Amino acid sequence: MTLYRERLWAPPALYLATALVIPASLLVFLPISVLAGVLVAIGMEIGVLVLLWALAPTIEVTDTEFRAGRAHLPREVVGEVEGFEGTAATSQRGPELDARAWTLFRGYVRGVVKVEVRDDADPTPYWLVSVRRPDAVVAALRS
């Protein structure tokens, strides 16, 4: 049963910024051929948009595991869970970050959740994952 699910889509401004691929590819390929320039520009734009869409990770809490992108952590090894926003989240991603931690960050997502890993066989002390609603993820993991 899914308790929480979120897809970390890029913000609309980033999708619009990909339009800069069009003039760049036109500058390169228009001197060769107008048709080549237009086709490459359209192909490049579609390719970049597909990459943005395909690389958006899913964060999911179920009754048996915590998933962040392709990684999953069984609920029985989940320890303490904390959510951070604003400057506290920035600090967690920066000066307070343990180099052994497993991370999944997206720069356009401000919040993070810190999930302790209680598994003696795993050298990872915790996961630090970007989420838009840290309190909801914490509540789902504690339930």
The residue extents of the domains of the chain are 2-54, 60-142
Q: For 36-75, write each residue's pLDDT tens digit.
A: 999 999 999 999 999 999 999 999 999 999 999 999 999 9
Strand pairing report for 111-117 and 78-84:
antiparallel
Other beta carbons within 10 Å of 142: 10
pTM: 0.84
Q: For 64-78, write each residue's pLDDT tens digit.
A: 999 999 999 999 999
The C-alpha atoms of residue 14 and residue 21 are separated, in whole angstroms, by 12
